Structure 1
Amino acid sequence: MHSVLTSRAKYVKKKLLLYHIYVLVGLIFFYGCATPIPPTGGPADKQGPVILHTIPETGTTNFNEQTIEIQFNEFVNRSSLTNNITIEPDLGIDFETHWKRKKLTIEFEAPLPDSTTVIVTLGAKISDTRNNKMGVPTTIAVSTGNEIDEGSIVGRLRSASNGKGIDGVKVLLYRSPIDLERPATYQAETDTGGVFRFKYLREGIYQALYVEDRNRNKIWDARESAQPFNRRFLDLKKGAADTLDVIYVPQVDTLAPGILGVGLFSTHRMRLRFDENIKVNDTVDITVNDTLGNTYSSAYPLYIPAADPFVLFAQSDSLLKEGVSYEVIIEGITDLAGNELDKNNAMFEGSSQEDTTLQRVIRVDSQVGLTPKQSLIVTYAAPIKERDIVDSLVIAEGEVTFTDWPAISINQNILTISPQKEWIEGVDYQFLVWNPATQRRQLYEPEIWDELELGSVEVAIADTNSSVQYQLSLSNEQVPVFRDTTFTGKVELTGLPPVAYKLVIYNDVNGNGKWDKGTVLPFVEPEPYYVQETVTVQTGFASEVILDFSKSPKRLRREEIPEPEIE
């Protein structure tokens, strides 16, 4: 009996051991097949995935396999691979992707064609499991022949608003015979610096285009934003490298703003609401008509709230009576891209509401500093009627305090404090401005820049053709300073406060008064353009900017370029 029990106990132990083994194997299988999850704890991971090696290596010749393996240094967010992997040129061969932990395998469903350079590009937006992107597109190239194509084309895209490189956008490259209605032969993606590179190219005639390609089909769509480069065609020799001019891409906003409605805060105070952020130009005109279309009253803008940049408060000169319908018509207001109002009128009802606006300081311009003849401008919430605003104003000029500063003017809701001819050189000024909302004075101490502290900017075009006219604008919204001029060869802008400025220069080739980015069809090259977001002016010095638009890569004359085949 004892032996029977012993045997039964051993049997039970074996069954339990097998059970635990099965459970362990099952857990290993489950976690091995599950979606990778990043580990928790430790310092934050901010680096995107990196390719450790590929099989075959890039540059391999006489490649006769149908698979390419890519080993990453970490787990990759597999869904990020969608739309971020391309095979070029178009081989007409389908492929599948397979994952095994950190290894990606690309498997072609048919043999690759002979004597062909095949390019696999992994886009910069491929990310790890923490959504850290690669940042730079990676190319793997192999050849099924004895040699690999080694031609290359490089270029850069910059923002026309600030000059910074634009990352993550597409550039299409067509090889002769060129048919813009068909998919491009190659596609490149800009890196974080706005640089794009086409590598492993055959010799031939090429045309490059910047496109939005929202459909991601590598086809130029005339309805999408697109730009040509300065050279329409490039004649790329075998194994040669070529560089395209930088092109500047403007902010694409052609949608005109419109007014959504009018609200009344009192019998005179209007709140105009628009469908996007706006700015008020010097030519602003606000008119209130009656229901017959006759002019009833004029109105003037008060301010745009910083928290609601799509709202404009305005003041009617005449009473807007309760129970009466009116129409407001607005001119001289645009969106931030400069598009004028599409819908510039709105109907509204008058009101008997008393004005309960809390009078207060909205903003003070020129807080950074003042030039010798520049005024300090204070914007209030409502038209200035309170004597306290003027009577409580105190200006300290060095050791002397003024409670009756003579150079003061009021226009609607704007208080302007001007110098008595000029602010005195070497003297510190303090402006104590009355704020009715707090019943206290607010202190402003702008720096006073005397003539010796002002600087200048000298801009020169290093071009043999000195008769070419260029448009120039120099601006700083905080000071505020805006200079706009036309020049040939060289120009010097003097009397500038020592701050940083945005500089824009372009050649208005077609004379339409604005910079044009060029068109694809018919081909018109972009007008010469340059923008620098920060040009620093130093006290008493001249900052020099020299531009050489002629130092672009050599542009072949028309007769030097073999005419490509265009379908």
Structure 2
Amino acid sequence: MKRFFFLVFISFLLASCARVGSPVGGSKDTIPPRVTGSNIDSPRVNVPRDIRELRIDFDEYITLKDINKQLIISPPLKQITKILPSGMGNKFLLIKWADTLKENTTYNFNFGNAIVDNNEGNPLGYYNFAFSTGPKIDSLYISGELKSIFNEKDKKTEEGSLVVGLYQVKDSMDYRQKPYYITKADPDGYFELNYLAPGKYRVLAFEDSNSNSVYDIGKEKVGFLKDPITLDKSISGLNINLYPSRKAVKYLEMKEVPGGVLMTFEGNPENVKIIPLNEKLKDYKVTHSRKSDSAMIWFDATAQNIGITSNENLKFSYDNGVKKDSVSLFYRLNAKNEMSIANNRGNLLSPQQDFVIKSNYFVDKIQPEKWSLVSDSIKQEFTAEISEKNPFEIHIKSNFKEGKKYALTIPKETVSSFYETIKKSYRFEFEADKIENYGDLLVTLENAPTQKFWIELINESGTVAYSKYGIEKQINFKSIKPGKYDLRILVDENENGIWDSADFADNIFAEPVYIFNKKIEVRPLWEIRETWDLLNKQTENVENSKDIEKPKSTKTKEHLNTANPK
């Protein structure tokens, strides 16, 4: 009898200590939550405009993952007051709002992958809930693909941030507001806008990096169709490419830097004119490269007694072609600043390349006749010149022979800026690398652009490793480091020397881009030859296009988990 009571006691103790949770053992739950009902029942039409909440019931406990980023409501509701569950799991989802709904309007709540079960986190993928305040639910849709250009190095950060929106075409449209209809693209770039009403719309796609559902001009990538679309039937196969967006030109800031003052701008001003407004600052130089976002005011602070013992209020007027204004800063000379030069490209010199040294000052004058280049204690002939493209660089040319070691000596005061010179001597030691460690690439273009263009090799980190500008149909890249590269062409249609990005405000597309549809793998001692026809299937011309009813994706409207009424 005692044994019997002991066993009963142990069983009770074990039962009382047990915790409610996921069962141990057995197959893992992979089934997402299932909707069992809602406060807005089928057929979900003629819903009262004064309704203030949506409740959806499920067959198991759910939680919400990144609901503020995932949930998109079209048309947008401005005053969402509550979303549940928040934290602990629940068997229902509740959204409350303060807005009065519009009449005869279909509302779509797109939850993305935010709804997951509480135990295993299985998402109810791409779940939509739609209802109408009118007699019918609008059923038109638009589908297609987005592609973000120049995105290799930040591809992970962009995943899930690309969106497509429709604005109703009216006499006045405010693109600083959320689109009337909006949806997110999936990780492959496929998108669908569902439950759309007939009408005339402007299509806008952008990288919503701050998740505010509003296109931030100049900060986010953008793609658009040049003309509005008239939606009277569903559209599929819409292809939109996103480019860096053009920034409006405006002044940003000034700061003290070695040699003077740096003035920076947003955007790319064509030209910048700067005039000091202080009587003490009489001797100065202004440098600004065309379409650069920065300008430099160089001066000798010591000689003009500016900011030596205390902060000095320096004032400047500027004209950036868009605005004329005056600005000021409190300047104090940093006594540690001095002109210096360095080798930033490493001690192995690629075959058939110049040896390059870089200065932290604008290089105005060099005296290479006082320099020496030696190899095996023997002086070598060489030439040196300031780079036309970058006046902060000096290029040294010589008959560099592979496998040979070199030493370049630059005495003090032989490299100068406007008001400064190097105050010590420099010695740079380097070796001409062997050609057997590099490969070559010969590209022959067919149907090439008629305007000048850049042809570029992009390395695996997303950086332009090699670039050539011109109009040649046969381009020879010599002595390329082994690796895998993307090949692209940027067309300089207006031949202004820069590639112009997209300008949505003025309805201007980015200049054309062509991408070779396979990787270029460079191997040591290999010469790779590629014929690139820019009109055939080997090329992706990423100009925006509108291909109606020609889907280029294997995905269809049925891949979304919708809550359409039967």
Q: TM-score, normalised by structure 2?
A: 0.55
Q: 1:319–1:127: structure 2 CA closer, same or farther, 3 Å change rule?
A: farther
Q: 1:322–1:527: structure 2 CA closer, same or farther, 3 Å change rule?
A: closer
Residue 259 of structure 2 corresponds to 270
Q: 1:472–1:341: structure 2 CA closer, same or farther, 3 Å change rule?
A: farther
Checking the alignment, whether the CA contact within 8 Å between 1:161 and 1:531 is kept in structure 2 is no
1:248-303 deviation line (CA, Å, top 9, x unaligned): 233757444443236xxxxxx73656679999x9x999999993664x466999xx
Checking the alignment, whether the CA contact within 8 Å between 2:439 and 2:527 is kept in structure 1 is yes
Q: CA deviation at 1:210?
A: 3.3
Match of 2:55 among 44, 49, 67: 67
Residue 519 of structure 1 corresponds to 504
Query: Which residue type is aligned with residue 203 of structure 2?
Result: A
Structure 1 residues 76-225: aligned runs within 5 Å: 76=64, 80-82=66-68, 84-89=70-75, 97-99=83-85, 101=89, 103-106=91-94, 118-122=107-111, 138-142=126-130, 149=139, 151-159=141-149, 166-167=158-159, 168-174=161-167, 180-181=173-174, 184-201=179-196, 205-210=200-205
Checking the alignment, whether the CA contact within 8 Å between 1:76 and 1:102 is kept in structure 2 is no
1:518-559 deviation line (CA, Å, top 9, x unaligned): 435x65555544568997474422345534648943479xxx
Q: What is the distance in 2 between the residues matched to 1:97 and 1:349?
A: 53
Match of 1:542 among 521, 526, 529: 529
Q: 1:236–1:416: structure 2 CA closer, same or farther, 3 Å change rule?
A: closer
Checking the alignment, whether the CA contact within 8 Å between 1:256 and 1:342 is kept in structure 2 is no
Query: Which residue type is aligned with residue 145 of structure 2?
Result: G
Q: What SS does the aligned partner of 2:474 have?
A: strand
Q: TM-score, normalised by structure 1?
A: 0.55
Corresponding residue pairs, total: 465
- 1:243 equivalent to 2:238? Answer yes
Q: CA deviation at 1:342?
A: 8.4
Checking the alignment, whether the CA contact within 8 Å between 1:361 and 1:379 is kept in structure 2 is yes
Query: Which residue type is aligned with residue 397 of structure 2?
Result: S
Query: Which residue type is aligned with residue 472 of structure 1?
Result: W
1:61-82 deviation line (CA, Å, top 9, x unaligned): 94459632368997546xx434
Q: 1:94–1:319: structure 2 CA closer, same or farther, 3 Å change rule?
A: closer
Structure 1 residues 42-61: aligned runs within 5 Å: 52-55=32-35
Q: What is the distance in 2 between the residues matched to 1:210 and 1:363?
A: 43
Query: Which residue type is aligned with residue 291 of structure 1?
Result: E
Residue 259 of structure 1 corresponds to 254
Q: 1:141–1:192: structure 2 CA closer, same or farther, 3 Å change rule?
A: same
1:408-434 deviation line (CA, Å, top 9, x unaligned): 6587997754323xx34xx32333567
Larger radius of gyration: 1
- 1:456 equivalent to 2:437? Answer no
Match of 1:405 among 352, 358, 380: 380
Match of 1:494 among 476, 492, 505: 476
Query: Which residue type is aligned with residue 246 of structure 1?
Result: N
Q: 1:261–1:403: structure 2 CA closer, same or farther, 3 Å change rule?
A: same
Q: What is the distance in 2 between the residues matched to 1:298 and 1:176?
A: 50
Q: What is the distance in 2 between the residues matched to 1:386 and 1:223?
A: 43
Q: 1:441–1:57: structure 2 CA closer, same or farther, 3 Å change rule?
A: farther
Q: CA deviation at 1:364?
A: 3.5
Checking the alignment, whether the CA contact within 8 Å between 1:72 and 1:103 is kept in structure 2 is yes
Structure 1 stretches lacking a partner, 5+ long: 1-20, 33-49, 263-268, 302-309, 396-400, 557-567
Match of 1:378 among 350, 357, 381: 357
Q: CA deviation at 1:55?
A: 0.9
Q: 1:329–1:461: structure 2 CA closer, same or farther, 3 Å change rule?
A: farther
Checking the alignment, whether the CA contact within 8 Å between 2:355 and 2:395 is kept in structure 1 is yes
Q: What is the distance in 2 between the residues matched to 1:115 and 1:179?
A: 22
Q: What is the distance in 1 between the residues matched to 2:306 and 2:100?
A: 81
Checking the alignment, whether the CA contact within 8 Å between 1:329 and 1:344 is kept in structure 2 is yes
Higher RCO (Cα < 8 Å, 6 or more apart): 2
Q: What is the distance in 2 between the residues matched to 1:187 and 1:277?
A: 29
**Percent of paired sites with the same residue:** 12
Query: Which residue type is aligned with residue 490 of structure 2?
Result: I
Q: What is the CA RMSD across the aligned residues, in angstroms?
A: 6.8
1:218-264 deviation line (CA, Å, top 9, x unaligned): 778999979562352334564552413323233757444443236xx
- 1:447 equivalent to 2:447? Answer no
Q: What SS does the aligned partner of 1:52 have?
A: coil
Q: 1:55–1:505: structure 2 CA closer, same or farther, 3 Å change rule?
A: same
Q: What is the distance in 1 between the residues matched to 2:434 and 2:299?
A: 34
Q: What is the distance in 2 between the residues matched to 1:362 and 1:187?
A: 51
Residue 224 of structure 2 corresponds to 229
Q: CA deviation at 1:484?
A: 2.0
Q: What SS does the aligned partner of 1:197 have?
A: strand
Q: What is the distance in 1 between the residues matched to 2:479 and 2:325?
A: 38
Q: 1:461–1:429: structure 2 CA closer, same or farther, 3 Å change rule?
A: same
